[in-house]
Amino acid sequence: MANVTGIPVYKKIGATPVPVTAHDQARVVIVGAGPVGLALALDLGRRGQPVTVLNRLDFVAHCSKAICFSKRSLDILDRLGAGDAAVEKGVTWNVGKVFWGASESPIYQFDTLPVKDQKRPGFINIQQYYIEEYLLDGCRALPNIDIRWGHTVDAVTALNDGAELTVTAVDGSYKLRADWIVACDGARSTVRDKLGLDFEGRVFEDNFLIADIRMKHEMPAERWFWFDPPFNPGRSALMHKQPDDVWRLDFQLGWNIDREAATRLENVEPFIRAMLGENLEFEREWYSVYSFQCRRMARFVHGHVIFAGDAAHLVSPFGARGCNGGLADADNLGWKLDLVLNGEADESLIETYNLEAVATADENILNSTRSTDFLTPKSKASQALRDAVLELAKEHAFARPFVNSGRLSTAVSYAESPLSTPDEDAWEGGVAPGMPVLDAPLADGWLLDELGNHFVLLACGGDQPVPPSVRLVALEPNGLAAQRLGLMPGASVLVRPDQYVAARWQQPTPTAVETALRRAKGETLCLQ
């Protein structure tokens, strides 16, 4: 619905009139214009597909929501043409520090970008609405992307070769028949609900307060996390810098609280003042209380209705695996749906989205669940174990890797992907099939920028015959890119359109490359 009260507006857009026909049609309908829906729309749009996006609100909301965007997400935004804007505006950071009690020196610290000399940092912090704006700018520049603001899905009927939606806007309702529907409509997904589908997994009994505030404050651009600080005794807290002098403060509140009361000014401000000083001058940006779940749908593909992002899976925010996990979904799905829409791949390729996105969600849920169990011990035994780790970590190196304040999002490996051709040659290091290509500087730019949107053969020394749909990129022998990929002269790597390695050879033959390419497009799938 348009003009929903209570949601602050970042950018007004206004309701889109309903189409002139009461029975409209589209090839692909994306439900939800959040970061995941917009990233997918932009990816498909840039590939030349006509895309219709439906968004319930007729504005971009002014809530910080997701703020930590990982290197992998920046690589994806780069591919979509939105990376520079994000990095220019965002606060770049790599280091996280963990504090315990009142001590001013960290008991543990980590670097989110262990391999240096890559184009993008481990993370940037930036308000979600900026990312939405940059993706929206890209979408609006393309005539084949039709975003309908203030259009709500009221009913979903799944069909064998598509789905029909009933859509309501301020000036009427209409039917929309689509070949494919992608639901990117968030944790409370209407599409999921209307199809009677649900999540499986754990719900955690704890509440956290987000206080995004505007203030002048000097602190390095790092992620600071406290266990049992004097300003929130017995619980945890987090502090993170965003652009525009906005800071994210996050306080663990416990389970039995009055959630309604918790975001009232008189209840939030004591937390802020206890942390940062009684006389602190600040303005409220966004206050919110959340609890969380680590759950996912059993399957993300239901016929021609596909789920992505929070609509498909939920994690705790510790680890920044929510929005980054959703962008990984969009990245995985875009090229596959494009090939299927073009008739260049069989529909069964979409089933590999289900496999790979479920694998990603499972890794995110596993890490997020483990972090949560460390942050909020559920028994006396786990509390004692957690506190023993923190105690020992101050002095002893062996205890530090146990300290878990959130394992931050990195690219997930598709170890079991049916699209990968397993290694037949012997390799020392490099990037194995099912892993994303590691970035490296080239003579004039960066390796990942060379990959583009389609299949690429990275050949050490160049001069390889390639199939017509594959672009050859020659790598200088002994250069850093070739070294990171473990390539000796004559060796090569076949890279998927989402920058994942599909296959590699010490001495490839044209037949081997052709076979691996067909496999990566799902032509030889053997799905259980």
Partner 1 sequence: MPAVNLGTNLSDHDALYEALVRLHDGLSDEESLRLWARLTLILMNHIGDRDVLLAAMEKARKG
Under the binding rule (CB under 8 A), the answer on residue 188 touching partner 1 is no
Under the binding rule (CB under 8 A), the answer on residue 102 touching partner 1 is no
- Would you say 115 or 388 has its CB closer to partner 1? 388
- Would you say 109 or 173 has its CB closer to partner 1? 109
* Least spacing, CB of residue 206 vs partner 1, in Å: 16
Q: Which stretch binds partner 1 (CB under 8 A): 23-31, 284-292, 305-313, 383-391?
A: 383-391
Q: What is the largest CA-CA distance in the chain?
A: 72
**Amino acid found at 301:** V
Rounded to whole angstroms, how far apart are CA atoms 426 and 351?
Answer: 30
Structure tokens at 262: 């918790």
Under the binding rule (CB under 8 A), the answer on residue 415 touching partner 1 is no
- Would you say 364 or 404 has its CB closer to partner 1? 404
Under the binding rule (CB under 8 A), the answer on residue 367 touching partner 1 is yes
Under the binding rule (CB under 8 A), the answer on residue 201 touching partner 1 is no
Under the binding rule (CB under 8 A), the answer on residue 443 touching partner 1 is no
Q: Which one of 20, 265, 381, 443 is in contact with partner 1 (CB under 8 A)? A: 381
- The site that binds partner 1 (CB under 8 A) totals a number of residues, namely 22
Structure tokens at 257: 């609280």
Nearest of 488, 469, 474, 475 to residue 426 by alpha carbon: 488
- Would you say 141 or 385 has its CB closer to partner 1? 385
Under the binding rule (CB under 8 A), the answer on residue 14 touching partner 1 is no
Q: How many other CB atoms are there within 10 angstroms of residue 465's CB atom?
A: 13
Nearest of 326, 405, 441, 376 to residue 95 by alpha carbon: 405
Under the binding rule (CB under 8 A), the answer on residue 16 touching partner 1 is no
Q: Which stretch binds partner 1 (CB under 8 A): 56-64, 76-84, 164-172, 379-387?
A: 379-387
Q: Which one of 5, 256, 379, 511 is in contact with partner 1 (CB under 8 A)? A: 379
Q: Which one of 157, 348, 382, 469 is in contact with partner 1 (CB under 8 A)? A: 382
- Would you say 221 or 392 has its CB closer to partner 1? 392
* Least spacing, CB of residue 385 vs partner 1, in Å: 6
Under the binding rule (CB under 8 A), the answer on residue 407 touching partner 1 is yes
Q: How many other CB atoms are there within 10 angstroms of residue 464's CB atom?
A: 20
H/E element, 467: none
Paired residues of 289 in beta bridges: 209
Under the binding rule (CB under 8 A), the answer on residue 385 touching partner 1 is yes
SS3 content of the chain, % helix, strand, coil (to 5): 30, 30, 40
Rounded to whole angstroms, how far apart are CA atoms 505 and 484?
Answer: 15
| Residue 411 DSSP one-character state | P
- Would you say 38 or 389 has its CB closer to partner 1? 389
Under the binding rule (CB under 8 A), the answer on residue 265 touching partner 1 is no
Nearest of 436, 429, 466, 467 to residue 451 by alpha carbon: 436
**Amino acid found at 146:** D
527: three-class secondary structure by DSSP: coil
Residue with tokens 């020659």: 474
Contact 322, 301 (CB under 8 A): no
List of E strands, 303-422: 305-307, 313-314
Rounded to whole angstroms, how far apart are CA atoms 23 and 173?
Answer: 10
Q: Which stretch binds partner 1 (CB under 8 A): 306-314, 324-332, 368-376, 495-503?
A: 368-376
Binding positions for partner 1, 387-406, rule CB under 8 A:
388-389, 391-392, 396-398, 400-402, 404
Under the binding rule (CB under 8 A), the answer on residue 225 touching partner 1 is no
* Least spacing, CB of residue 188 vs partner 1, in Å: 30
Under the binding rule (CB under 8 A), the answer on residue 114 touching partner 1 is no
Contact 381, 86 (CB under 8 A): no
* Least spacing, CB of residue 293 vs partner 1, in Å: 18
Q: Under the rule (CB under 8 A), what is the footprint of partner 1? A: 367, 370, 373-374, 377, 379-382, 385, 388-389, 391-392, 396-398, 400-402, 404, 407
